[in-house]
Amino acid sequence: MTSTRRMGSVDSEMGESMLNAAEEILKDEGYAALTSRRVAEYSGVKQRLVYYYFRTMEDLQVETFKRLSIRELARLRDALASERPLHEVWDICVNSSDARLISEFMALANRNEGVRGEVITFIEESRKIQVSALRKAMVKNGSLDQGLPPDVIAFIGTSLALALNRESSIGVSKGHPAVKKTIKEFFESLEV
């Protein structure tokens, strides 16, 4: 049975403030610290107000990820429309949102079915955009049927970008310049 209690708008200034707070808490302290009390402290409101805007903490987690997902997908779609979509998409993937935030959402996805569904939707949609950019470039230069298919390249590229991002965030850089150079040269060969 759905609750009939009145809810505040997530899109309101207060709702946005709470989403900002949740994002900061996840980045700075991790998912274990994401409580209604911490969100209220960050937002400067009473704890019960958090539940006026979000029925549960799980709902707050889902909305926080959705907002991040919308931002990132918009960036990828803009990149797809650029003159050099492969370079732009790669740049977004390699310089994506904070590596810690991504790790925290992946941890939440293991515990929160709603977040898991949103993460799956985001990954699949972003992969479609990446594959589209690759397919377009490969058709244009006649290499679509030579070598690896766009789906495989997109998967490898995303995995490399995540690894680079995560390692960079903790200070690892060994091999990074060579990987970035190789990817850049590969994209140069496709976007001629």
Could you tell me if 184 and 124 lie in one domain? yes
Could you tell me if 48 and 89 lie in one domain? no
How many structural domains does the chain have? 2
Q: Model confidence over 41-99: pLDDT tens digits? A: 999 999 999 999 999 999 999 999 999 999 999 999 999 999 999 999 999 888 876 77
Which of 114, 2, 133, 120 has its CA nearest to residue 59? 114
Q: Model confidence over 85-137: pLDDT tens digits? A: 999 999 988 887 677 888 899 999 999 999 999 999 999 999 999 999 999 99
Could you tell me if 46 and 82 lie in one domain? no
Could you tell me if 36 and 124 lie in one domain? no
Chain centroid to Cα 177, Å, comes to: 23
10 vs 35, higher pLDDT: 35
List the domain range (segments joined by +) for residue 15: 1-55
Domain endpoint, select from 32, 55, 78: 55
Domain endpoint, select from 38, 55, 72: 55
Residue 35 gets which letter from DSSP? -
Helix or strand holding residue 89 (H, E): helix 85-94
Which pLDDT score is estimated for 4? 52
Domain CATH number, residue 17: 1.10.10.60
Could you tell me if 117 and 184 lie in one domain? yes
Could you tell me if 87 and 138 lie in one domain? yes
If one counts every other C-beta atom within 10 angstroms of the C-beta of residue 140, the result is 12
Could you tell me if 49 and 68 lie in one domain? no
Could you tell me if 51 and 65 lie in one domain? no
Under DSSP, is residue 73 helix (H, G, I), strand (E, B) or coil? Answer: helix
Could you give the dihedral angle defined by the CA atoms of residues 126, 127, 131 and 134, in that order, rounded to the nearest 10 degrees?
70
CA dist., res. 164 & res. 166, Å (int): 6
Domain endpoint, select from 20, 40, 55: 55
Q: Model confidence over 9-33: pLDDT tens digits? A: 877 899 999 999 999 999 999 999 9
Whether 137 and 88 have beta carbons less than 8 Å apart is answered as no
Could you tell me if 12 and 73 lie in one domain? no
CA dist., res. 25 & res. 38, Å (int): 8
Could you tell me if 108 and 163 lie in one domain? yes
Could you tell me if 71 and 134 lie in one domain? yes
Could you tell me if 156 and 121 lie in one domain? yes
Name the amino acid, one letter, at 42.
Answer: Y
